[in-house]
Amino acid sequence: MEQLQEVFSTIEEEIISRIWNLCNEDLEIAAIILRFIVDNNTTFQQQSNLMRLLKRFGNKINKITILKIWRNCKQIYADTREKLKEICRNSNLDELNVYKMYACLSKEENEIKILREICLHILWNILKYPKRIKYHFEQVFMDMEKNLQYLGFKKGDDNNSYYQNNNIQSLLLWHYYKQLISQQIIYKTRDSTPERVCMLSNGKWKDYEILFDYQHRTIMLFDENKLKIKLLQLGNPNKLSPECNVHIQFYNDLDVNDTHAKWACLILNHTWHFRTIDFVDRDDLSNFVSVNKAKYTNDFINCTIYLFQI
pLDDT at 10: 84
In a domain, 20, yes or no: yes
Q: Are 262 and 252 in contact (CB under 8 A)?
A: yes
Domain boundary among 90, 124, 143: 90
User: Are residues 160 and 210 located together in one domain of the fold?
Assistant: no
User: Are residues 302 and 200 located together in one domain of the fold?
Assistant: yes
| Nearest Cα to Cα of residue 217 among 108, 296, 309, 126 | 309
User: Are residues 13 and 84 located together in one domain of the fold?
Assistant: yes
pLDDT at 294: 41
Name the more confident of 155 and 136: 155
Domains contained in the chain, number: 3
Name the more confident of 284 and 150: 284
Long-range contacts at 68-73 (CB < 8 A, ≥ 24 apart): 71/36, 71/40
Rounded percentage of the chain residues whose pLDDT exceeds 70: 72
Rounded percentage of the chain residues whose pLDDT exceeds 90: 10
Structural domain including 225 reads: 190-306
In a domain, 148, yes or no: yes
In a domain, 97, yes or no: no
User: Are residues 197 and 302 located together in one domain of the fold?
Assistant: yes
- In this structure, the dihedral spanned by the alpha carbons of residues 155, 156, 160 and 166, taken in order and rounded to 10 degrees, is -80
Domain boundary among 181, 201, 225: 181
Per-residue pLDDT of 48-103, as tens digits, reads 888 888 888 887 788 888 988 988 998 888 889 888 888 877 764 444 444 344 44
In a domain, 96, yes or no: no
In a domain, 95, yes or no: no
Per-residue pLDDT of 265-310, as tens digits, reads 999 988 999 999 888 889 888 887 775 444 343 344 444 444 443 3
